[in-house]
Chains A and B, each alone.
Chain A
């Protein structure tokens, strides 16, 4: 009897103090990789998220923000488990993050079935951009094919006639390769899809490259694989002999290590990307300067997108005045993409993937002699991904 009364009083009190509830922090779940060899990417994202929250004074829509990080352990099953924990146990208001396409594909349903909004800060698998697009799913990075479609264009412009492709055999690897194949007009003289993530020695593939002797090699190996790939490319005597073009292989996480190890073969190589640390807009200059001051290195593109994702969410929470349960209002605001991006202006396509520029980047030394990447050219302007047309939304 007594207990029932107390519960009753407590619930009345809760109702009476509803405005006080608004002072409850907004909870954002952020899934990334915080253990295994890929943890260094997750740390970079985590740092960027924390910096973004700091830059916005810890508040969105007048309410405090609490970010709960989930570690996917670079494993789709674990990623799904962590997503379930965030949605069901921590009861987060919104879920963001996801480096890996296969982890996102395994986890998306959990978030979307709960009616919550899901924002990918890196992975952009074709399925979620096309046939399986969802009103509550947003991507704030890119669709996997786009960066390499830009790469195909670059190869055409640079007169490459024969191309050899080496990439990992998983969702993102296949998308990246299909992107190049969409736009590259020359002949693909060899293609190796390697076992992901276990294969980390490319002796057999490089031997084939040498025997075919193509005009260029294109590759995609994110994380520590990228560093190992570049290293072995140089060791195999291919640097300087066959020009290397890459996507998501050389980043600000790997470059300091390559510089330390003296892998000069990476200098002067080209890649395509939607962002670079040297982009000149106020948001980016503040982000890069403060990131370097606080963490000692250039932010990676993973970090730039994680940083953007927080301001993207903030624009929606601000628009609904902190009432985050107003999912329709949030969605309408996200579709406008009215936030200061480190990439300058971008807009949201109808499949909830960004419509944005893709640039040619080159690995060079900065004023202090630190290896970094600099933008050379716009390859694709206001580009819409090729799967958007399959999205019925």
Chain B
């Protein structure tokens, strides 16, 4: 286990964390600000991937694919919020879970009707293909570096919007005390639609960034949604900062667990047992972390301050 290997795996972990953050940011905003459980959040990850793949294959440009895909996902998110979800805010969480679970089934079938059954693949753009030497003798794929950098840029942008803009102030006000914000004249309905659309677009962006690596397929959202839920629970529901830190931690733990756990287990277990326990344990690691956080700090690592 040399240093270069550890460094490269750390980068892999951060890259996974960045994707999780994009997904978790929207989820935590919607959950924290609107008190709304949205299981269909993964569907926007999937829809973003499909829309991007379609625009990419249509225009032949990766950048245009993203630029067209983002507003399309944003719009889809807002329309979904206005048409299906708005009436559910006053209902209890179980009703919301039921309705948004229905949306998952709907969207999964929808993409199978609209797009080919086995999904849509996009080529890796030539200028993002290949690997560059980033020191320590590590050749790291350009595309994955791009994911990390664009994710960090989005995180910074989101920080700026939430902390330094009027919209961000309204979002924070809504998160702290919905009723009071409404009483002070904030159009809560419009604000919620915007937040929901923003969350959908962020999830969509994560889907777009992963598409050149894994292709867009029906049902891809559920696989990652579970991880995103774990991230917002660890980070503290409603906290963007918590989502960011927790996503990076989850990405690192998952990747480093997959990479080194079998080696570590060999120290304490006989080879056969280590071989069997390694994969099982590494896929459980972040759930164990979540259980630990829930036990010692049930409100999450960075819970938002509530005034009610």
Chain A residues with CB under 8 Å of B16's CB are: 201, 203
Interface centre among A207, A237, A260 (most CB of B within 10 A): A207
CB contacts (< 8 Å) of A236 on chain B: these are 131, 141
Count, A-B residue pairs, CB within 8 A? 103
Query: Please, which residues of chain A bring their CB within 8 A of the CB of B278?
Result: 193
- Asked if A65 lies at the interface with its beta carbon under 8 angstroms from chain B, I say no
Residue of chain A at shortest CB distance from B123: A261
In this complex, which of B4, B112, B217, B278 has the most chain A Cβ atoms within 10 angstroms of its Cβ?
B217
- The reply to whether B213 and A207 form a contact with Cβ atoms under 8 Å apart is no
Chain A, Cβ-Cβ closest to B226:
A198
Question: CB-CB < 8 A to B217: which residues of A?
Answer: 37, 224
Q: Which residues of B contact A207 (CB under 8 A)?
A: 5, 8-9, 12, 259
A228 / chain B contacts, CB cutoff of 8 Å: 213-215
Interface string of B203-242 (1 = CB under 8 A from A): 0000000100111011110010000000000000000000
How far, in whole Å, are A38 and B257 apart by their CA atoms in the complex?
A: 28
What mask results when residues 236 to 251 of chain A are scored 1 for a CB within 8 Å of chain B, else 0?
1100000000000000
A253 at the interface (CB under 8 A from B): yes
Give the contacts of B232-263 with A (CB-CB under 8 A): 255, 258-259, 262
Say whether, besides A198-B223, A235-B129, A235-B141, A35 and B112 are in contact (CB < 8 Å).
yes
Q: B213 to A201, Cβ gap below 8 A?
A: yes
In the complex, are the beta carbons of B118 and A37 less than 8 A apart?
A: yes
The answer to the question of A319 belonging to the interface, with a C-beta cut-off of 8 Å to chain B, is no
Residues of B within 8 A of A231 (CB): 121, 213-215
Query: Which single member of A40, A197, A204, A262 contacts B258 (CB below 8 Å)?
Result: A204
Residues of A within 8 A of B139 (CB): 210, 237
Do residues B283 and A200 form an inter-chain contact, with CB atoms below 8 A? no
Chain A contacts of B283 at CB under 8 A?
Answer: 169, 195, 199
Q: For B223, what are the chain A residues with a Cβ–Cβ distance below 8 Å?
A: 197-198, 200
Instruction: Answer yes or no: A43 CB below 8 A from chain B CBs.
Output: yes
**Given contacts A35-B112, A228-B213, A228-B215, are A193 and B279 in contact (CB under 8 A)?**
yes
Question: A192-233, CB under 8 A of B: which get 1 and which 0?
Answer: 111101111101110110110000000000001001100110
Q: Kindly provide the distance from the CB of B274 to the nearest chain A CB, expressed in whole angstroms.
A: 11
B12–A203 touching, CB < 8 Å: yes
| Interface SS of B by simple majority | helix
Q: Which residues of the other chain, A, contact B13 by a CB distance below 8 angstroms? A: 204
CA distance A228 to B278 in the complex (A): 24
The residues of B that contact A198 with a CB separation of less than 8 Å are 223
Q: Which residues does chain B contribute within 8 Å of A260, judged by CB atoms?
A: 121
The answer to the question of A17 belonging to the interface, with a C-beta cut-off of 8 Å to chain B, is no
- Contacting pair B121 A201 (CB below 8 A): no
Contact B213 A232 (CB under 8 A): yes
**Beyond A37-B119, A198-B223, A257-B121, is A237–B12 a contact (Cβ under 8 Å)?**
no
What's the nearest-Cβ distance from chain B to residue A248, in Å? 16
Q: How far is the CA of A43 from the CA of B219 in the complex (A)?
A: 17
Shortest distance from the beta carbon of B251 to any chain A beta carbon, whole Å: 10
* Residues A40-99 near B (CB distance < 8 A): 40, 43
* A195 lies within 8 A of B219 (CB): no
Known contacts A36-B219, A257-B118, A237 near B2 by CB under 8 Å: no
With a CB–CB cut-off of 8 A, which chain B residues contact A185? none
Beyond A194-B258, A200-B214, A237-B131, is A169–B119 a contact (Cβ under 8 Å)? no
23 contacts between A and B (CB under 8 A): A35-B108, A36-B108, A36-B218, A37-B118, A37-B119, A39-B218, A43-B117, A169-B280, A191-B275, A194-B258, A200-B214, A200-B223, A203-B12, A204-B12, A204-B255, A210-B139, A211-B8, A224-B119, A228-B214, A231-B215, A235-B141, A253-B118, A257-B118
